Amino acid sequence: MTTLDTRTTMAADEAAAVISTFRRHLSSGRASLGEMFGGHLEDRSHGALVYTRGGVEYLNCAGYGVFILGATHPYVTDAVIAQVRTHPVSTRILLEPLAAAAAEALINVCPPGLTKVHFVGSGTEATETALKMARAHGKRRLITTVNGYHGKTMGALSVTARSIYQDTFRPLLPDVEQIPYGDAAALEQVLKDGPESCFILEPVQGEGGVIIPPAGYLTEVQRLCRAYGCFLIADEILTGIGRLGRWWGVNAEGIEPDVMLVGKGLSGGVIPVAAAVATEKAYKPFDKDPFLHTSTFAGAPVAMAAAKAAIEAVIAEDAVNKASTTGHLLKEGITSSAQRHRPHLIREIRGEGLLIGVEAHDAGLAGELVLELLDARVLVNHSLNNSAVLRLTPPALLTTDEADRLLSAVDLAFAALARRFPSAR
């Protein structure tokens, strides 16, 4: 037996044990998915690459959009390790200098008008924070968009507009209206005849299947919200920190929401952290009373070290511009590849920056494409609220070689799919 054979056998034995433990103690569903994806175990990661225990290397376009800086970025990792060694979690009595520094770093890159930060540990908690802020201003009715995704805790789930995630947990928050995404007239209609409201909106819908709104939509939303006194939450958890090739999705039309939600990339891909960033006026109820909305680990120094370093690294690496340039190149390459290999299987390639959606003709084909891409050593996510759409969210620091490798892998996967499904389904 060669060294490689021994390593492969040991990895297979370990994988079988891990799958069995997942089945017994974590989730039988995850265990089955893991098996379907080849039974590999994640071991280590660096930049755009993830390695399995057996030594297989994957190009990471998954992670639900977290890895704008890739994995284990040295600047963020060093900052976090230093903080872990000195003071990772705070007393909540004395003030934390790193929270102040992280808040300042974040505010400095936010749209004008957003000057207050409430740090939390996950995207869904950022949504909860913003919904509570809206309630504190008397906005009792919540308006969300069809297929919008804002998290899965009870408040956030109430505005995550997909019944398969909601139905098991009803009753959710009352007074929630769903309107079609990208339809300003529908917003006006509900605002006209309703009580005091709050509208939560993704600048580009992510889990809904990478849906880009029509030009002028965000501006019109802001105009309507101002005209009708509606509290506006921009959910930038996926789209922010450069993912779309600009700092924030709302930059496209320069709108200024009451609250903006930040997550994913803020972690630097190292430590979970998210935030709700608000205007002075929106934040007022939280400002006065520091105990009104709290959580033990919120703003923990180790998370603050990650957030501050992540923002600094995004600036130092020019990651926002790189996301734009690399995003254009990848979208063009993937589009021409899809056209070459039987376009009957792929409905559309769309996206902005490094949020790229590949819409297959049906969810089954999208699933097959995920498996073909796995065979070609590329990891991608499907869209939770639109199963026919795969999402590629590679890091902004992708090298030219890695970008070429990604395009070749996608081309191989499209070709393999076209061979297996030679005619339209």
Give the footprint of ligand PLP on this chain (CB under 6 A): 64, 122-124, 127, 149-151, 202, 206-207, 235, 237-238, 263
* CB proximity list for 173: less than 8 A, separation 6 or greater: 131, 142, 154, 155, 158, 159
Which SS3 state, helix, strand or coil, does residue 78 take? helix
In whole angstroms, the minimum distance from the beta carbon of 418 to ligand PLP comes to 31
CA distances for 129 relative to 163, 204, 227, 278, 380, angstroms: 23, 21, 24, 10, 30
- The kind and range of the H/E element at 373 are helix 363-375
Cβ proximity to ligand PLP: between 211 and 376 the closer is 211
Q: What is the C-alpha end-to-end distance of the chain, expressed in Å? A: 45
Cβ proximity to ligand PLP: between 255 and 409 the closer is 255
In whole angstroms, the minimum distance from the beta carbon of 273 to ligand PLP comes to 10
Cβ proximity to ligand PLP: between 149 and 247 the closer is 149
* Residues constituting the chain: 425
In whole angstroms, the minimum distance from the beta carbon of 211 to ligand PLP comes to 12
- Classify the C-alpha dihedral 343-346-352-353 as positive or negative: negative
Angle ∠(142,297,270) on CA atoms, nearest 5: 95
Cβ proximity to ligand PLP: between 60 and 122 the closer is 122
Cβ proximity to ligand PLP: between 209 and 327 the closer is 209
Cβ proximity to ligand PLP: between 70 and 123 the closer is 123
In whole angstroms, the minimum distance from the beta carbon of 367 to ligand PLP comes to 19
Cβ proximity to ligand PLP: between 123 and 209 the closer is 123
In whole angstroms, the minimum distance from the beta carbon of 150 to ligand PLP comes to 5
Closest to 183 measured CA to CA, from 152, 213, 225: 213
The C-alpha atoms of residue 199 and residue 181 are separated, in whole angstroms, by 12
In whole angstroms, the minimum distance from the beta carbon of 272 to ligand PLP comes to 7
Q: Which residue is nearest to ligand PLP (CB)?
A: 123
Closest to 357 measured CA to CA, from 164, 162, 205, 152: 205
The C-alpha atoms of residue 37 and residue 355 are separated, in whole angstroms, by 23
In whole angstroms, the minimum distance from the beta carbon of 300 to ligand PLP comes to 16
Closest to 74 measured CA to CA, from 317, 321, 379, 354: 317
